[in-house]
């Protein structure tokens, strides 16, 4: 497979991609996306929007999903470190409600492919982090839903250090759990 090491996860469709890095005395070069290589890995998505966010240590964003305009996402960190999580919300999936987490850092340069039908979020582990993601659909105001990050039914094992102060948006403190999601999607 081209310039990416692709790892399939225990949740169908979720993938971890590690690019080949070409270092020299000037620094390094790497491809972060290459259509042919991604298609060979089973990622046949047309990305239409790139986003970037910056956050300080302890910021937890998520768990977010789109209600009508679902997005595939390819995420990575260009500065710092985050713990990135996705939760399977695909109706009829044998892994519905299961989660996968991975540490993404500027050093490991790993990317996380999260297909449509997942909730997604991350916790900033470094003092500062810049997070970049490609999306397969445009942002639609008012289309975002969420599940509370600490829902015991899902049981995400966030690597929250002793003494780490979590910083969440007001909205992210008010989402319901997986049971609420199931009840409200009907």
Which residues are tagged catalytic? Answer: 64, 133
How many residues are present in the chain? Answer: 186
Give the residue from 113, 177, 183, 115 showing the smallest Cα distance to 146. 177
Contact 77, 18 (CB under 8 A): no
Distance CA 4, CA 32 (A): 9
Mapped onto helix, strand or coil, the DSSP state of residue 40 is helix
Which H helix or E strand runs over 101? strand 99-105
């Amino acid at each position: 497979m081209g310039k990416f090491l692709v790892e399939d996860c225990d949740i169908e469709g979720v993938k971890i991609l590690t690019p080949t890095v070409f270092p020299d005395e000037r620094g390094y070069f790497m491809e972060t996306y290459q259509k042919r290589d991604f298609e060979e890995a089973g990622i046949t998505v047309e990305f239409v929007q790139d986003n970037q966010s910056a956050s300080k240590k302890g910021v937890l964003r998520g768990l977010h999903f789109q209600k009508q305009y679902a997005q595939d996402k390819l995420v990575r960190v260009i500065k710092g470190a985050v713990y990135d999580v996705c939760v399977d919300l695909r109706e009829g999936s044998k892994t519905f409600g299961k989660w996968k987490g991975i540490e993404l850092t500027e050093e490991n340069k790993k990317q996380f492919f999260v297909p449509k039908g997942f909730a997604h979020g991350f916790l900033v582990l470094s003092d500062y982090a810049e997070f970049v993601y490609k999306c397969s659909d445009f942002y639609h105001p008012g289309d975002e839903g969420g599940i509370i990050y600490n829902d015991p039914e899902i049981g995400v094992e966030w690597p929250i250090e002793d003494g780490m102060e979590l910083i969440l948006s007001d909205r992210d403190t008010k989402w319901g759990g997986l049971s609420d999601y199931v009840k409200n999607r009907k």
